[in-house]
C-alpha cells in the first residue's frame, strides 16, 4: 500500500500562490487544503483540521480547542512573523513545534510604512480623490527630511524602517524591550523611553507584537504626549491602538493624522468614526503583501515542512527548548 501523502492545511490566503512556492508544493505531492473562506469565522479550518499533518497559519486563531480537533497534527507553522494568534503553551503541551518566518517580510512592511508617511505628509489619498472627482484641491504638505521618526519596536522590521528613514534625512529614535545597542550605535539611532519618543516624534510607527502586554499601548494618555501635528502609523496589530482615543484626538485636532493597516476585527467595522476622518489612511492588512515577501515567507514555510516530514525538528522553532524538556 502506498504511503499516505502528508496533508497540509493553511488558513493563510497568501501561502502557496507566489513565486516558486506553488511549483515546489506541487512537486512534493502534499495534499494541500486551503481554509480561507471569509464567510466562516475560522475560514473553514474546523472542517479539515482533523486530517491535517501540518497547519500553516494566517490570522485565524489557533487555540487549545483547535488543537484538540487536530489529532494528526505534527506542527503549527506561521506564514509570517507574529504568533500572537497562536496559543503556544497549548501547542507545547500537545508536543507540537511552533515555527514562524522572521525577517522574510520585513522589507515589505518597512517600505509600506515609508509609503504611508509620504501619503500623510503630501496628502496623496486626498489629492487622488480630488482629481478623480473633478476637483483640483492643492494642499500644502511637508517633507520627511529633517523630521523625527519614532519607532516602537526596533526588531527586523523596525531596523529596516530606520535605515530607510535615515536615508531620507530623518532623525530616528526608538524604544524596544530588548534594545540592540550595537545597531543603534552603528546607524545613529537613539533609544529613549516611550514617553520621550511620543513627545519628540513627528511620526510614530508601531512594530510590536500584539497580545495582552501591548493592548492599547497607544491610548488617550499616550496620544496626549504627542505633538498636535504628529502622525501615527500602525502596522503591528489592531489591539495595540485604542481607536476610540485616536478618533477623538483627530477630531480635536490634537493628532495630525493616522495610517492603519491592522485591525482588531478584519475586515473592520467602518461605521467607527475614525474611518470617516479626512486625515486617516487605511490599508487592508497588506504590509507583507509584496510578491517578493510572500515568496520569501512561503519558501521558509516549505523549509520547515520539509524538515518536519523528514522527521527532523523544523528550523525557527519557537518552543524547541520546552519540547526538548522532560
Q: Which active-site residues does the annotation give?
A: 237, 266, 285
Taking alpha carbons only, the member of 320, 305, 268, 301 closest to residue 81 is 301
Q: How far is 14 from 274, CA to CA, in rounded Å?
A: 28
Q: How far is 308 from 76, CA to CA, in rounded Å?
A: 10
Q: How far is 237 from 235, CA to CA, in rounded Å?
A: 7
Residues paired with 32 in a beta bridge: 8
Q: How far is 116 from 149, CA to CA, in rounded Å?
A: 13
On whether the CB atoms of residues 237 and 263 are closer than 8 A, the answer is no
Q: How far is 251 from 144, CA to CA, in rounded Å?
A: 24
Taking alpha carbons only, the member of 121, 163, 115 closest to residue 141 is 121
Burial of 321 (0-12, 13-18, 19+ CB in 10 A): exposed
Range list of β-strands (E), 69-126: 75-78, 98-99
Q: How far is 120 from 291, CA to CA, in rounded Å?
A: 25
Q: What is the CA radius of gyration of the chain?
A: 21
On whether the CB atoms of residues 155 and 177 are closer than 8 A, the answer is no
Q: How far is 79 from 12, CA to CA, in rounded Å?
A: 7
Identify the H or E element spanning 195.
Answer: helix 194-200
Residues paired with 130 in a beta bridge: none
Task: Name the DSSP letter for residue 264.
Answer: S
Amino acid at each position: 500500500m502506498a504511503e499516505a501523502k502528508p496533508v497540509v492545511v493553511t488558513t493563510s490566503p497568501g501561502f502557496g500562490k507566489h513565486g516558486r512556492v506553488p511549483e515546489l508544493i506541487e512537486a512534493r505531492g502534499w495534499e494541500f487544503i486551503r481554509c480561507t473562506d471569509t464567510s466562516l469565522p475560522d475560514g473553514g479550518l474546523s472542517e479539515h483540521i482533523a486530517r491535517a499533518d501540518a497547519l500553516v497559519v494566517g490570522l485565524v486563531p489557533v487555540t487549545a480547542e483547535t488543537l484538540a480537533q487536530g489529532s494528526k497534527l505534527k506542527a503549527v507553522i506561521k506564514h509570517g512573523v507574529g504568533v500572537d494568534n497562536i496559543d503556544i503553551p497549548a501547542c507545547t503541551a500537545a508536543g507540537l513545534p511552533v515555527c514562524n518566518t522572521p525577517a522574510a517580510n520585513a522589507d515589505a512592511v518597512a517600505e509600506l510604512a515609508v509609503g504611508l508617511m509620504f501619503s500623510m505628509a503630501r496628502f496623496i489619498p486626498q489629492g487622488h480623490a480630488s482629481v478623480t472627482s473633478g476637483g483640483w484641491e492643492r494642499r500644502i504638505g511637508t517633507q520627511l527630511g529633517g523630521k523625527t521618526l519614532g519607532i516602537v519596536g526596533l526588531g527586523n522590521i523596525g531596523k529596516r524602517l530606520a535605515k530607510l528613514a535615515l536615508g531620507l534625512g530623518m532623525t530616528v529614535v526608538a524604544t524596544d524591550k530588548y534594545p540592540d545597542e550595537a545597531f543603534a550605535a552603528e546607524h545613529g539611532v537613539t533609544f529613549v523611553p516611550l514617553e520621550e519618543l511620543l513627545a519628540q516624534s513627528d511620526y510614530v510607527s508601531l512594530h510590536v507584537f500584539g497580545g495582552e502586554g501591548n493592548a492599547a499601548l497607544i491610548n488617550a494618555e499616550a496620544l496626549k504626549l504627542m505633538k498636535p501635528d504628529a502622525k501615527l502609523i500602525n502596522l503591528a496589530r489592531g489591539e495595540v491602538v485604542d481607536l476610540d482615543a485616536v478618533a477623538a484626538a483627530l477630531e480635536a485636532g490634537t493628532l495630525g493624522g493616522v495610517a492603519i493597516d491592522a485591525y482588531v476585527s478584519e475586515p473592520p467595522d467602518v461605521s467607527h468614526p475614525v474611518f470617516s476622518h479626512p486625515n486617516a489612511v487605511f490599508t487592508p492588512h497588506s504590509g507583507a503583501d509584496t510578491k517578493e515577501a510572500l515568496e520569501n515567507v512561503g519558501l521558509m514555510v516549505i523549509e520547515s515542512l520539509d524538515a518536519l516530514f523528514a522527521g527532523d525538528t523544523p528550523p525557527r522553532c519557537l518552543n524547541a527548548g520546552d519540547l526538548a524538556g522532560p
